[in-house]
């Protein structure tokens, strides 16, 4: 499935006001989300598998790719469209060997060196983070900022998605600076009206893409 990175939703059940991932995702899709990453840091393998399977069915019906955060075993088990890995996760070459050539692999990067290495290693897209410091990733206390996007954009050819306190107020500027899309957690999942929140961000991304 070809990926559109314009509005990339990352789940976080702790922020979703008691709503299920399924309910959050469904409402977000109605607002124009183009790709979903299921991130579950605390679920056991069986629970994660069951959750991923339900979401896979929903997304398949809507022709939206499902990316699994970190867990290559879960991605394989539910036949997800791909995985997203960080610098401390399984090496990219090994992930590609396990998943094969057709799955999407995204890699988190912070520097030009990491971006170039991920592209050279066969990543399909980069998750540039954090654009701004965010409470969802308190361990990251340095930020790239809008001004840090362009040099990385110039260094690589593959798509770049920005994550880290991204919302409707900064999406336009960030995409204009060179991002292919915006990855969002709390600006969608923590909002009372998820569909409207997603729609507002998507409108800014599309406006920037002109």
Assess whether 207 carries a catalytic annotation.
no
Q: What CA–CA distance (Å, rounded) separates 40 from 91?
A: 20
Q: Which residues of 58-67 are buried (b: 16+ CB within 10 A; e: fewer)?
A: bbeeeebbbb
The pLDDT tens digits for 5-58 are 999 999 999 999 999 999 999 999 999 999 999 999 889 999 999 999 999 999
| pLDDT, averaged across the chain | 95
Assess whether 6 carries a catalytic annotation.
no
Residue 101 has pLDDT above 80, yes or no: yes
pLDDT band for position 133 (cuts 50, 70, 90): confident
Q: What CA–CA distance (Å, rounded) separates 210 from 206?
A: 6
The pLDDT tens digits for 103-123 are 999 999 999 999 999 999 999
DSSP letters along 142-195, please? ---TGGGHHHHHHH--S-EEEESS--TTTHHHHHHTT-SEEEESHHHHTSSSHH
What is the set of domains in the chain, with CATH numbers?
7-105+163-209 (3.20.20.70)
Candidate list 54, 60, 116, 137, residue with the active-site label: 137
The pLDDT tens digits for 50-81 are 999 999 999 999 999 999 999 999 999 999 99
- Token look-up 């605390």 returns 42
* pLDDT score at 142: 84
pTM for the structure as a whole:
0.95
Candidate list 108, 129, 186, 202, residue with the active-site label: 108
Assess whether 108 carries a catalytic annotation.
yes
Candidate list 6, 16, 39, 129, residue with the active-site label: 39
The pLDDT tens digits for 148-183 are 999 999 999 999 999 999 999 999 999 999 999 999
Q: Give the tokens for residue 93.
A: 């070459």
């Amino acid at each position: 499935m070809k990926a559109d990175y314009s509005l990339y939703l990352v789940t976080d059940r702790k922020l979703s006001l008691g709503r299920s991932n399924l309910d959050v995702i469904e409402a977000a899709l109605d607002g124009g989300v183009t790709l979903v990453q299921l991130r579950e840091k605390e679920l056991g393998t069986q629970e994660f598998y069951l959750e991923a399977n339900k979401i896979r069915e929903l997304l398949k019906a809507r022709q939206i790719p499902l990316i699994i955060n970190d867990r290559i075993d879960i991605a394989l088990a539910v036949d997800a469209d791909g995985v997203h890995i960080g610098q401390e996760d399984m090496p990219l070459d090994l992930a590609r060997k396990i998943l094969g050539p057709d799955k999407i692999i995204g890699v988190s990067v912070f520097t030009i060196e990491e971006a170039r290495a991920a592209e050279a290693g066969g990543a399909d897209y980069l998750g540039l983070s954090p654009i701004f410091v965010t409470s969802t990733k308190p361990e990251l206390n340095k930020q790239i900022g809008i001004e840090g996007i362009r040099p990385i954009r110039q260094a690589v050819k593959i798509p770049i998605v920005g994550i880290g306190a991204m919302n409707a107020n900064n999406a336009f500027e960030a995409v204009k600076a060179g991002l292919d899309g915006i990855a969002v957690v709390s600006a969608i999942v923590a909002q009372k009206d998820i569909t409207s929140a997603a729609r507002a961000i998507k409108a800014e991304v599309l406006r920037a893409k002109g």
